[in-house]
Structure 1
Amino acid sequence: MNKTKEIFVTGFALFSMFFGAGNLILPPFLGKNAGEDWYWVSIGFFITAVFIPILGILAHARLQGTLYDFGKKVSPVFSTVYCIIIYAISISLPAPRTASVTHEMAIAPYFRTSSLLTSIIYFLLVFIFAINRTKVLNLLGKILTPFIILILLAIIFIGVFTAPNVISPTTFSTPFVSGLLEGYQTFDAIGAIVVGGILVISMNFKKDTSFEIKKELITKAGFIAGCGLLIIYAGLILNGARFNTTFKTDATRTEVLSILSTQTLGNIGTVFLSVLVSLACFTTAVGIVTGTSDYVKGLFNNSQKVYFITAFLGCLIGVVVGQFDVGYIINIALPVLMFIYPITIALIILNVLPEKYASKNVFKVVVLATFIFSIPDFLQFFVDEKKLSEIQNIIPFSKHNLGWVLPAVLSFILGLLIKNHSFSEKEN
C-alpha cells in the first residue's frame, strides 16, 4: 500500500471509530435549539467534539503509547486510576446509550415492545460477540460507515435546498457555551485517547515502520478524520436550525434526527437510516465492552476468566442503564462529564505540547488545578445552587461550567515560571 493511500485508509478508519451513531442525535437537536445562532453553537461544539479529539490523536502521534501514557507524567497511580475511570465511564454510559438510541430509532416507532426487552436482547448479543471475537464487526463497520455517511450527506444536501425560510430564535442564553458543553456528550475526547492507543498498537505490528513515519501517518489521518466530523456535524447543526420550526417544542434528540431524515429522504430513507444507525450502535457497544474487558484482563495477568466476568458485568450494566431513554442517560452523564472531561482536555493539550513546555511539574500543577476547579461544576448536580453560588461568583466562568479553564491556564504559566526560575538558578 502506498503512503497516500495508507493515510486515507487510516483517516477513514479513525473517522469510523469516532463516528459513534449515538453522536448523530446531538448536532440536529443542538441546531434546533440554537435557531438563528446556530453558527455560535457550532463553534463551541467543534471545539469539544472535533478540535480537542483531533488534538488527542496528535498527542498519540507524539507519544505512540497507550492510554496509560497520557497521565503517567502526573504519577503512575494517577494514570492507573484515570484509566480505570475512563473505562468504567465508557462501559456505563456511552455503551448503554447505544441500546437506547437503537430502541428509540429502530424499535419503538414500529413495535410496541418495552425498552427493557430491547436492552436485554441487545446486550445478550453484545455479550455473545464480545466473548466470541470475530472479524464480522470490523467488516460491518467498514460497510456501514460509508452508507451512513452517504445518507447523512443526502439529508444535509437536500435539507439545504428544501428548508423553510423561517428560523426560530435561539432558546440558549449563551449559545457558544451550550455548544461547548454539548460537545462533552459525544465522548469524542475520551474516544480519542482510547482509539488512538488502539491505532498505535495496530501500527506497532508493522516492524519496518519508523517512529517518524508513524507520527506523520497518524497526524495526517487525524486531520482527515477531523475534516469528516466537521462536515457532518456542521451540516446536521445547520439543518437542525433551518428546520427548527417544523419540530415539536418537546421533540427528543432521536425524534429530531428521525423527523429531519423523513422531511428530506421520506419514510423509506428514515427506515434505512434507523437500521444502519442501530447496526453501527451495536458495533460501537461491542467495541467498548471488548476494549474494557481487555484492559481489566491486562490488570489480572491476562486472565481469560477476568475477561469473561468483565464482559458479563459490562453487559449487565448495559441492560440496566440502556432501558432508559436517551435524554435520561444524557442527563445522568452530565455530572460525570463535568468532572472527567476537563481533566481529559488538560491531559490532551499537555501531551501535544513540546517537552520543554510540559514537564512533570507542569503536568501535576495543571491537572491538580483543573481537578480542584471542576469540583463546583460536578457538585452543582447534588448541592443546592445557593450554597455554590458564593464559590461560583468568585471563580471566573464558573456559572458557565467552565470554572476550571482560567485556573488551568494560570497554573500552566506558573509551572513554566517555576521551571524557568529553577533552571536560571542552576545556571548561576
Structure 2
Amino acid sequence: MNKTKEIFITGFALFSMFFGAGNLILPPFLGKDAGISWYLVTIGFFLTAVFVPILGILAHARIQGTIYDFGKKVSPLFSTIYCVIIYAIAILLPAPRTASVTHEMAIYPYFGSSSLLTSSIYFLLVFIFAINRSKVLNLLGKFLTPFIFFILVVVILIGIFSSSEIMKASSFDAPFVIGLLEGYQTFDAIGAIVVGGVLVISMNFKKDSSFEVKKEIITKAGLIAGSGLLIIYAGLIYNGALFSNIFSENATRTEVLTGLSTQTLGNIGTVFLSTLVALACFTTAVGIVTGISDYVKGLHNTPTTYIITAFVGCLLGVIVGQFDVHFIIDIALPVLMFIYPITIVLILLNIVPEKWARSVVFKWVILTTFIFSIPDFLQFFMDKNILRGIQNYIPFAKHNLGWVLPAFVSFLVVNSIIKNKKSAS
C-alpha cells in the first residue's frame, strides 16, 4: 500500500473512531438553542471537540507509546491512576452510550425490541471486530467511514440549500462557553488518547515502518480526521440553527437529530439516519474496546489477556447500555468536569517543546489544574451558593473554566524559575 493511500485510510478510520453517539446528537441540539449565535457556539465546540483531540493525536505521533506515556512525567503512580480512571470512564460511559443511542434511534422505533437484546447483539459484534484488531483500521477506513461521511454531508448540504426558516434568537447567555463545555460531552479529548494508542499499535504491526514514517502517517491522518470533524460539526450546528424554529423548547437531543434528518431527506431520512447512527456509534465502541484491551495486554502480555479484556469490556457495555441516553449524559457531567481539564493539559504539555515541558513543569501544572478543577466537580454535590464565594475570586470560574488561567500561570512561573536557575549557574 502506498503511503498516501495509507494516510487517507488511517485518517478515515480515525474519524470513524472519534465520531460516535455524542458527536451526532450534540451539534444539532446546540445549533437549535444557539440560533443566530451558532458561529460562536461552533468556535467553542471546535476547541474542545476538534482542536484539542487532534493535538492529542499529534502528541501520540510524537510519543508513539501508550496512554501511560502521557502522564509519566508527573509520576509513575499518577500515570497509572490516570490510565485506570480514563479507561474506566471510557468503558462505562461513552461505550455504553453508543449502544443506548443506537437502540433509541435505530432499533426500537422499527422493531420495538428490548434494550438488553440490542446491546447484547451490538457488543457481540463489537467483540468480533475487536478480536480482529489487526484488520480494524482497514475495515473502518475503507468501508464504514466513507459511507458515514457521505450521508452526513448530504444531510448538511440539503439542509443549507432548502431551509427558508429565519433563525431564532440565541437562548444562551454565553454561547462560546456553552459550546466549549458541550465539547466535553463528545469525550473526544479522552478519545484521542485512547484511540491514538490503537493507531500507534496498529502502525506497529507494520514492521517495515520507521519511527519517522509512522509519525508522518499519524500526524497527517490526524489532520484529515480533524478536518472531517470540523466540517461535520459546523454543518450540523448550522443546520440545527437553520431549523431551530420547528423544534419545541423541550425537544431532546435525539428528537432534534431525527427531526433534522426528516426535514432534509424526508421520510426516507429516518432510514438513512438509523443506518448512520448505528455505524457511527459502532465504530467508536470498537475503538474504545480495542484501546482498553491493548493497554491491559501491554501490562500482562499473555495470549488470552487481550480477548478476556475485550470480553469484559463488552459485557460492561451491555450492562450499562440499558440506561437511557440522557441519564448517561447527566452522570457523565461531574466526571468530565474533573478529568477533562487534566486531560487537556496533559495533551498540551506533550505537544510543547521538550525544553518547556520538563518533569517539574508537568508536576506543578497538573497539580494546579487538579486543585482548580475541584469546584467544578463539587458543584454537582454541594449547594452552589457555598461555592460561589470561592468562584468569585477565580477568573472564569463562573463558566466552569477556573482552572485555565491558574494552569497557564503555573506553566509560565515554573518555566521562568527553571530559566533563572540556569542563568544563575
**TM-score normalised by L of structure 2:** 0.93
Distance in 2 separating the partners of 1:219 and 1:127:
28
8 A Cα contact 2:55 2:351, kept in partner: yes
What is the Cα-based RMSD across aligned positions, in Å? 2.2
Deviation at 1:98? 0.7
Shift of 1:170: 1.3
Aligned to 1:14: 14
- Structure 1 residues 139 and 201: CA distance shift in structure 2, 3 A: closer
Quote the sequence identity (%): 75
8 Å CA contact retained: 2:90, 2:288: yes
8 Å CA contact 2:361–2:414 kept in 1: the answer is yes
Matches within 5 A, 1:21-100: 21-100=21-100
1:135 and 1:10 map into 2 onto residues whose CA distance is: 12
Query: Which residue is 2:101 aligned to?
Result: 101
- 8 Å CA contact 1:148–1:273 kept in 2: the answer is no
* Equivalent-residue separation in structure 1 for 2:125 and 2:330 (angstroms): 26
Q: 1:25-424 to 2 correspondence within 5 Å?
A: 25-127=25-127, 130=130, 135=135, 139=139, 142-302=142-302, 304=304, 307=306, 310-424=309-423
Distance 1:345 1:133, change over 3 A: closer
Q: Distance in 1 between matches of 2:307 and 2:285?
A: 16
Displacement, 1:26? 1.0
Query: Partner letter of residue 292 of structure 1?
Result: I
Q: Secondary structure at the match of 2:302?
A: coil
Q: Distance in 2 between matches of 1:317 and 1:365?
A: 35
Q: Is the 8 A contact 2:9 2:142 kept in 1?
A: no
Partner-residue secondary structure (3-state), 2:183? helix
How many residues align structurally? 425
CA distance in 1, matches of 2:191, 2:174: 27
Q: 1:270 to 1:142 in 2, by over 3 A?
A: farther
CA offset digits 1:317-376 (Å, max 9, x no partner): 323321222221111111111111101100111111001111111111111101111011
Please say if residues 144 and 276 of structure 1, whose CA atoms lie closer than 8 Å, have aligned partners that are also in contact: no
Q: Label 1:5 to 1:243 Cα distance change in 2 as closer, same or farther (>3 A).
A: same
TM-score by length of 1: 0.93
| Structure 1 position 141, deviation (Å) | 6.0
- The residue type paired with residue 122 of structure 1 is Y
Q: Which letter maps to 2:353?
A: P
* Aligned counterparts of 2:191 and 2:62: Cα–Cα separation in 1: 17
Distance in 2 between residues matched to 1:136 and 1:297, nearest whole Å: 17
1:137 to partner: Cα distance: 9.0
Matched position secondary structure for 1:352: coil
Distance 1:314 1:211, change over 3 A: closer
Matched AA of 1:246: I
More moved, 250-259 vs 115-124: 115-124
**Range moving further from structure 2, 322-331 or 292-301:** 292-301
Which deviates more from structure 2 when the two are superposed, residues 192-201 or residues 408-417? 192-201
The range that moved more, 195-204 or 145-154, is 195-204
Of 201-210 and 71-80, deviating more is 201-210
**2: CA distance between counterparts of 1:192 and 1:181?**
17
Q: Which deviates the most, 195-204 or 161-170?
A: 195-204
Whole-Å Cα distance in 2 between the matches of residues 417 and 207 of structure 1? 42
CA distance in 2, matches of 1:308, 1:199: 19
Secondary structure of 2:233's counterpart equals helix
The answer as to whether partners of 1:74 and 1:360 remain within 8 angstroms in 2 is yes
Contact 2:60/2:197 (8 A) holds in 1: yes
Alpha carbons of structure 1 residues 146 and 308: separation in structure 2 relative to 1, 3 Å: closer
For the 8 Å contact 2:134–2:202, the answer to whether it is kept is no
State the 1:249 CA deviation: 1.7
Give the Cα separation in 1 of the matches to 2:108 and 2:361.
50
Deviates more, 1:14-23 or 1:74-83: 14-23
| Alpha-carbon distance, 1:303 to partner | 6.2
Structure 2 CA distance for partners of 1:376 and 1:302, relative to 1, 3 Å: farther
SS of 1:275's equivalent in the other structure is helix
Q: Deviations along 1:290-327, whole A, 9 cap, x unmatched? A: 332332343344362x5555444433432332122222
The answer for unaligned runs of 5 or more in structure 2 is: none
More moved, 364-373 vs 104-113 = 104-113
Indicate the larger mover: 122-131 or 16-25: 122-131
C-alpha separation in 2, matches of 1:131 and 1:58: 26
Shift of 1:148: 1.6
> Take 2:61 and 2:211, find their aligned partners in 1: how far apart are those partners?
9
Deviation at 1:14, TM superposition (A): 2.1
* CA deviation after TM superposition for structure 1 residue 192, in Å: 1.2
